[in-house]
Amino acid sequence: MCRKTELANGILLEIMQGDITKMDTDVIVNAANKQLMHGGGVAAAIARRGGQPVQEESRWWVREKGPISAGKPAVTTGGDLACKYVIHAVGPIWGEGDEEDTLALAIRSSLSLAEELKAKSISFPAISTGIYGFPTDHAADIFMRVRAAAGSERVRSVRRIIIVLFDRQRLDVFCDSFNQHFEREAR
């Protein structure tokens, strides 16, 4: 565990190093592409560990409902994962334009969908900071700002939000952003 705080309405926000595929939260978020082709990074790890149900349900989703977007994530069961659901969220590719707003939308949309599922806990990876090239420090700041939405009255079901980072470098950046953000709030 790197950092932990309780938000205004009692929601617990945590940042930790770990493997998101091993989280036993109600929901884990997948950093997905629009077609839900789980070929690399977090998506491949989730599909591999989740097994056939995750991949089959992803194919069904795209076939029946079309590609996903930052504002319209998909949901599948967790398959062989410890979680009940996987929310597949599309973050922006760095350089395509409007990246910060798109990442914020992907995070908010995932929280909103978790609320619809009546989830009590959700784990996020560092969406878009891998092959999509989003700078980790910018992403961390956006995550810290968007978490304020979790402190609003719209979030009633979700009581625990965990940002799970696989490598130490990203963990350090997110912890620094957490420290700066909450230090400013305390003043």
**Domain locations in the chain as residue ranges:** 3-186
User: How much is the pLDDT for 187?
Assistant: 41
Tally Cβ neighbours within 10 Å of residue 150: 24
- Please tell me the total number of residues recorded for the chain in this structure: 187
pLDDT tens by residue, 75-111: 999 999 999 999 999 999 999 999 999 999 999 999 9
What does pLDDT average to over the chain? 91
pLDDT, tens digit, 9 for 90 and up, residues 145-185: 887 556 555 778 999 999 999 999 999 999 999 988 876 55
- Distance between CA atoms of residues 53 and 69, nearest Å: 21
pLDDT at 49: 95
Q: Are 150 and 161 in contact (CB under 8 A)?
A: yes
Residue 103: CB atoms within 10 Å = 25
Q: Cα 138 to chain center, whole Å?
A: 15
Q: In 3D, which of 108, 109, 113, 173 has the Cα closest to residue 139?
A: 173
Question: Cα separations (Å) of 187 from 20, 180, 182, 183?
Answer: 33, 11, 9, 7
Instruction: Report which of 83, 12, 45, 47 is spatially closest to residue 166, judged by C-alpha positions.
Output: 45
Give the pair of three-digit tokens for residue 157: 């079901």
Which range has the worst mean pLDDT, 9-13, 52-56, 111-115, 120-124? 9-13
CATH class of the region 3-186: alpha beta
Query: pTM for the whole thing?
Result: 0.93
